[in-house]
Structure 1
Amino acid sequence: MRRLPVYILLDTSGSMRGEPIHAVNNALQILISTLRQDPHALETVHIGVITFDLDARVMQELTPLDAFPTIELTTPNSGPTFLGEALRVVRGKVASEVKRGEEADWAPLLFIMTDGKPSDTMTFNEEVSAIKSAGFASIVGCGAGPSADVTALQRFCTSVAMLDTLDGPGFEQFFKWVSDVITDSGRSPEAKSADTTQLPPPPSEINIVI
């Protein structure tokens, strides 16, 4: 069965230290558990996780749901938010991991969560155009908290959501909604295209900007 690759980029900069990163760790496990309850997702969805702060790191290679391990995200005490470098890394992973040709995977999905703005401005500006041409079916951004630069996400995401706070309930609702987006995409991936913006309705805690 064809795979549905899903990439998740998570901000682990210093401003996420403490309760916010703890909440993201819990919400990520809720996402995996929720997806595992869907038989079709269990057969098709593969997830990769990339974090970004003063660097961008592959925390988990593209992995099937039933083999996805528990991962623990950490943050530095302080530092920049290299979102541009994270976009560069995920483009490289798509190029090496997503199958093309006769046994092609479905077009991948990309989800990004940040509570700040890109610090690597030059790299970010370069990657804005490049990521749009990477073949993603949808790119969903989430600006979390009052310091999130939603305008930056709007430059390359097909949809942008906002969370007012950086607490556990908000992140849980966002990741549960992400599971709805993934399962909805998995049911009819042939209908998805690079400019897909139709998403399932979000919970009340999430405000859709675009």
Structure 2
Amino acid sequence: MRGEPIESIKVGLEAMVASLRQDPFALESVYMSIATFNRNVELLVPLTELESLQIPTINQPESGPTHLGEALQFICKKVDNEVELSTPDKKGDWMPLLFIMCDGRASDPQLFNTIISEIQKRHFGSIIACIVGSKTDVDNVRKITDKIVSLETTDSGTFKQFFKWVSASVSVGNRSIGATDQMLLPPPPPEVHSVI
């Protein structure tokens, strides 16, 4: 994404963090990490507690490939290194939630198709994909998750509503790893459309 969408994402992220900070339970339990990807994956914010989180500058990416497979591989490594599983002696972390936002198709299809089974082995409470624009390959995204939403516009108001919905999803999504019931997401606002 380039131009206004990038600025709109920053506005939306700031609104989401402000909303989550109003929730005392989220302040105690939510940690966030932010990464961007195009031809490279860049970790903008390492796993950080909500109270200390600062929204970074998101630079305009060069136009080029969308290495979604590489991004998912990166996420798998981060989950393996940073999420503690429960043991008989110790309670583990909450099940992580993964939000993916993309406006293209996977430019690394071989890695993308290989990493799908690895993503599914991780203990995500939910994986939500947000697609923006007409170039997104929805069938590929469906290989990762059936929770897909799309944004018709990329203005700051729409992204604010999207991230407000994300904060509501995070608030209801805190569950221990090992919970077997499906996470129920709150209904999205009118600006965010579920993809069937």
TM-score, length of structure 1 as denominator length: 0.86
Q: Secondary structure at the match of 2:69?
A: helix
1:1-210 correspondence to structure 2 within 5 Å = 16-100=1-85, 101=87, 102-186=90-174, 189-190=175-176, 193=179, 196=182, 198-210=184-196
Contact 1:137-1:194 within 8 A present in 2 as well: no
- Aligned-partner residue type, residue 204 of structure 1: P
Cα deviation for residue 27 of structure 1 reads 0.8
Q: For 2:63 and 2:75, how far apart are their aligned partners in 1?
A: 23
- Specify every segment of 5 or more residues in structure 1 that has no aligned partner in the other structure, as ranges: 1-15
- Aligned-partner residue type, residue 207 of structure 1: H
Give the percent of matched residue pairs that are identical in Structure 1 and Structure 2: 40
The 3 A distance-change label for structure 1 pair 195 and 74 is: farther
Q: Secondary structure at the match of 1:103?
A: coil
Cα deviation for residue 107 of structure 1 reads 1.2
Cα deviation for residue 76 of structure 1 reads 2.5
- Aligned-partner residue type, residue 149 of structure 2: A
Q: Secondary structure at the match of 1:60?
A: strand
TM-score, length of structure 2 as denominator length: 0.92
User: Which ranges of 4 or more aligned residues in structure 1 deviate by more than 4 Å?
Assistant: 190-195
Contact 2:173-2:183 within 8 A present in 1 as well: no
